[in-house]
Every structure is written in structure tokens, then in C-alpha cells.
Chain A
Amino acid sequence: MNLAELQKKLIAAARLQTPDERVPYAFEKRITALIAARKAADQWLFWTRGLWRAAAACVAVACFFGAVSLFTPKTVENTNDLSQDFENTLLASADLPDTSPTP
């Protein structure tokens, strides 16, 4: 069989087919409504996207500092526990000698 001839015939058949230009009723209204609906959704999208990005950044920072604190070798001075350090800082002013002039 002559395939080239068959191909030519079928291409000619396809050329004779003119595609239908029919548009569904009120299609343009549907598109405008979709655009309007998307616009309203977009405002929420702006906030949710922003908040998710902020959350991701916070997690990244927390992970970084967590890793730093985990892998930093402890120095000798840091042997006190956190509660002790906290208490010392809080009561530092009370521990200072009273230097106010006596009347």
C-alpha cells in the first residue's frame, strides 16, 4: 500500500474539516465571574502565603540556633545550670554593695 498517498489523502481530509466556532452561552460572563472570585481569594492567599513564609523562616532560625547550641562545646564557666544563672542576673542589683552617701 502507498503510505505516502494515504497520508496525503488523510491530511486532505483533515483540511476539509473546519472547526466549530460555537461558544457556550454566557461564556464571557463565566470568565469574568471566575476572575472576580479569584481576586477575592487572592487577598487571603497573600496573607496565608506571607504567614507560611514567616513560619518557615522562624523554624529555620530555631533549627539553626538549636544546632549551634547543641554542637557548641561547653566551657568550664558554663557548668552552672540555667536557673542559677537566671537567679544571679535577677538579683544582681541586690547583691551590689550599697554605695549611697549616708546622711
Chain B
Amino acid sequence: MEERSEAELIAAVLKGDAASFEPLVAKYSPRVFATARRYARRESEIEDICQEVWLKAFDKLKTFRGEAPFEHWLMRMAVRTCYDFLRGHQRNRISSFSEISEPEEDWLERFVAEPGNAAEDADAAKLLIDRVLEKLSPEARLVIQLLEIEDRSVKDIAALTGWSVPLVKVRAFRARGEMKKILARITQEKYL
């Protein structure tokens, strides 16, 4: 069977053929899942986020005007859904760092002794940054993720989140401060 183009599939869905949505889901789900995995840890939560992204995409498909690629439009929806998820799951943010594992503690000790010796590709460093990201406020986490980790531009983040460019800058400034405070708390708890 001849493969239909993305525009044809979208047009068919808009005409009421819901089955034409399936190839779109199959094509873009890996990216949606990768995005969700940046913000959620449990597989059940990740699946819930992705499901919500696709249901929202189906409901709002009428608003897709085809000016930008479908993938960009979908990623905006995915990022906003992840942000909503973060806002809904911020219960355990303010807690102690006493639960830091031994490898993480060792890594920190190595960093304190000689910063150059603490490798960033170590599993402990990855665990530690995940822990730090989890303690950030939803806004701060989103900005740090997009700006610092994914290395996106401020304009790009504004388009993805729906925030204005100045707001992204303000939130980025606050996020860096928030992260520093969390790091200071870890080191205070461990080394003072």
C-alpha cells in the first residue's frame, strides 16, 4: 500500500478518519517518549504523559495550521504536558539529602578533594543530577532541562513553553540560583 504523506494523514483525521492518526502516533512516539523520560522516572508515569500528549494532539489537531512541521507542534504539546506533570508532582521536592547513596557521596568527596578527578560520565554523577533536578521547582527544572541540558535557545524555549522571551530569561536566572542553593544544601549537609 502506498504510504500517505503527513499532510494527507492529518487531513484524513480532520475529516473524521481516526484510524489515520495511528501512523502519526507510530512515527513520533519515540520522540514523545524520550521527552517524557526527561521529566518522569516511573514507566507508568511516562506512559500516562505520552498518552495525554497524543489525546491532546488529537483534540487540538484543528489548530495545527501546517505552517511549521507537525513534529514541532507536537513537541510543544509534549513539553507543556511534561510541565503540567511536574506541577502536579512536586510533593517530595523539599526533603533532606540524607538519602544520597554511597556512590554519590563518594563522587562528591572526589569532587571536593580534586574537582578534575570527578568524572561527569560516572553513574553517580548522573544519579546526583537526577536528584538535584527532582528538587527544583517545575519552572526551574523545565528551564534547566531545555536551556542547560538540551542546549536550546531562549527563543526556542519561549516557543516551546508559551512563555515570553523575557520571562524565560528571568526564570533561567532564578533556576540557576535555585540549583546553586540546592547544591549548597547538599554540600552543607554532607561537609559541615
Q: Which positions in A face B, CB cutoff 8 Å?
A: 1-7, 9-17, 19-24, 27-32, 34-36, 38-39
Contacts and interface: CB of A to CB of B under 8 A. Distances in A.
B30 A21 contact: yes
Contacts of B58: 31, 35
B29 A9 contact: no
Interface in B39-75: 47, 50-51, 54-55, 58
B75 to A, nearest CB: 13
B48 to A, nearest CB: 12
Nearest to B149: A14
A35 B18 contact: yes
Identify whether the interface residues of B are mostly helix, strand, loop, or mixed: helix
15 contacts: A3-B187, A7-B176, A10-B120, A11-B149, A13-B121, A13-B122, A14-B149, A15-B149, A15-B151, A20-B37, A21-B34, A23-B30, A24-B47, A27-B29, A31-B25
Nearest to B24: A28
Interface in B106-127: 111-112, 115, 118, 120-122, 125-126
A3 B148 CA distance: 16
Contacts of A12: 120
Contacts, number: 104
Interface of B: 18-19, 21-23, 25-26, 29-31, 33-35, 37-38, 47, 50-51, 54-55, 58, 111-112, 115, 118, 120-122, 125-126, 128-130, 132-133, 144, 148-149, 151, 176, 179-180, 183-184, 187, 191
A1 B179 contact: no
Given A3-B187, A23-B29, A10 B38 contact: no
Contact of A3 (B31, B149, B183): B183
The 7 closest A-B pairs by CB, nearest first: A13-B125, A21-B30, A28-B25, A12-B120, A10-B129, A19-B34, A13-B120
Given A7-B183, A21-B30, 5 more contacts: A13-B129, A20-B34, A27-B47, A32-B21, A36-B18
A7 B182 CA distance: 10
Which of B31, B129, B132 has the most CB atoms of chain A within a 10 A radius of its CB?
A: B129
A13 B31 CA distance: 21
